[in-house]
Amino acid sequence: MATPFLKMHGIGNDFVVLDTRVSGRVVSAEAARAIGDRRRGIGFDQLLVMAKPREGGDVRMIIFNPDGTEAESCGNGTRCVARLVLDETGKDRVVIETLGGRLIARDAGGGLVTVDMGAPGLEWEQIPLSERMDTRRIDVQIGPIDKPYLWGPAAVSMGNPHAVFFVDDTATIQLDRVGPLIENHPIFPERANVSFAEVTDPTHVKLRVWERSAGATLACGTAACATLVAGVRLNKLERKADIALPGGTLTIEWREGDNHVLMTGPAEQSYAGELGDHLEAVLTHAAAA
């Protein structure tokens, strides 16, 4: 029997969603890589596996990158899975278990979903970094030692590691050149998602993102959250702002009361399908191995 899947996206950040809650099927790194191949598979920025909850939540979400590694958190993906569970249960609030922690999502009306992403990690060991330093501006630079063209990004964890550069013009950044350099910099032992933020005013930001293992994407929810937090810490942004990414805009708020970051945006289904024979064979083989 062919395995069904959904293709979904959050402002262009695209996902394949597999629901294993009934089958209990285990998805391996090998299967994730095969499904993620944009030429021979389906293709995705992340694979989202819906599994039975373990800690009293409504669903457990396992997140795979295209290279088969697991990610701790995915903001846009959380909204997509939340949309499915909200519609399925009729609830207005659901709890999603992830490797990075439990996330609470609510129906915000008008097709929007708000996710409480929890408190950001701001200490060097929470990111994590390979050595102690002030995470508002870490000691990283690109270019000649005496005249770097990028330097001093902020580091923030939103359940996954982020480096945020504030720049004058995001259009001038060669993502495919500098993104991998920062992603794989020795200061980030678990690699990093890399953002380039252009502040147009204290409540509006233009953002481009190089995602860890996925490359340049149209949107990244956790990067938008990390950017707002970094901007507030550097007195560049207010605690609530619209973050405009190539695929669309997210509204991010960093609450003072409980220190939690809220992310609001759409979640849409593109199409439904079934895995073809090749992908089904890889999934079955990997699960049996």
Q: Which of 250, 261, 150 is nearest to 203 (CA)?
A: 250
Same CATH topology for 4-118+268-288 and 141-258: the answer is yes
> Is the pLDDT at 288 greater than 70, yes or no?
no
The band of 289, judged by pLDDT with boundaries at 50, 70 and 90, is low
Residue 100 CA to residue 122 CA, distance in Å, equals 15
Stretch 125-150: mean pLDDT: 93
According to the model, what pLDDT value does residue 131 have? Answer: 97
**Which is it for strands 112-116 and 261-266: parallel, antiparallel or unpaired?**
antiparallel
According to the model, what pLDDT value does residue 253 have? Answer: 98
pLDDT cut 70: percent of the chain above it: 98
According to the model, what pLDDT value does residue 284 have? Answer: 77
Mapped to the 3 state alphabet, what secondary structure does the chain carry?
CCCEEEEEEECCEEEEEEECCCCCCCCCHHHHHHHHCCCCCCCCCEEEEEECCCCCCCEEEEEECCCCCEECCCHHHHHHHHHHHHHHHCCCEEEEEECCEEEEEEEEECCEEEEECCCCECCCCCCCCCCCCCCCCCCCEECCCCCCCEECCEEEECCCEEEEEECCCHHHCCHHHHHHHHHCCCCCCCCCEEEEEEEEECCEEEEEEEECCCEEECCCHHHHHHHHHHHHHCCCCCCEEEEEECCEEEEEEECCCCCCEEEEEECEEEEEEECCHHHHHHHHHHHHC
Residue 111 CA to residue 97 CA, distance in Å, equals 22
Stretch 82-88: mean pLDDT: 97
Helices 277-288 & 29-36, crossing angle to 10 degrees? 170
Q: Which of 71, 75, 16, 99 is nearest to 213 (CA)?
A: 71
Peptide bond into 66 cis (omega under 30): no
Residue 144 CA to residue 8 CA, distance in Å, equals 42
Q: What is the pLDDT of residues 25-68, one digit of tens each?
A: 899 999 999 999 999 999 999 999 999 999 899 999 999 999 99
> Is the pLDDT at 285 greater than 80, yes or no?
no
Residue 37 CA to residue 134 CA, distance in Å, equals 39
> Is the pLDDT at 166 greater than 70, yes or no?
yes
According to the model, what pLDDT value does residue 132 have? Answer: 97
Contact between 109 and 73 (Cβ < 8 Å) = no
According to the model, what pLDDT value does residue 281 have? Answer: 86
> Is the pLDDT at 287 greater than 70, yes or no?
no
Q: What is the pLDDT of residues 167-196, one digit of tens each?
A: 999 999 999 999 999 999 999 999 999 999
**Which one is catalytic: 27, 122, 138, 220?**
220
74 included as an active-site residue:
yes
Mean of the per-residue pLDDT values for the chain?
95
> Is the pLDDT at 260 greater than 70, yes or no?
yes
Stretch 150-160: mean pLDDT: 96
**Which one is catalytic: 11, 61, 71, 74?**
74
220 included as an active-site residue:
yes
**Domain residue ranges of the chain, discontinuous segments joined by +:** 4-118+268-288, 141-258
Lowest mean pLDDT, pick from 71-75, 135-139, 255-259: 71-75
Stretch 249-253: mean pLDDT: 98
Stretch 88-105: mean pLDDT: 95
Contact between 36 and 64 (Cβ < 8 Å) = yes
Please name the fold of domain 141-258: Diaminopimelate Epimerase; Chain A, domain 1 (3.10.310)
Look-up of token digits 């290279």 = 67
> Is the pLDDT at 149 greater than 60, yes or no?
yes
Q: What is the pLDDT of residues 195-238, one digit of tens each?
A: 999 999 999 999 999 999 889 999 999 999 999 999 999 999 99
> Is the pLDDT at 74 greater than 70, yes or no?
yes
What's the CATH number for 4-118+268-288? 3.10.310.10
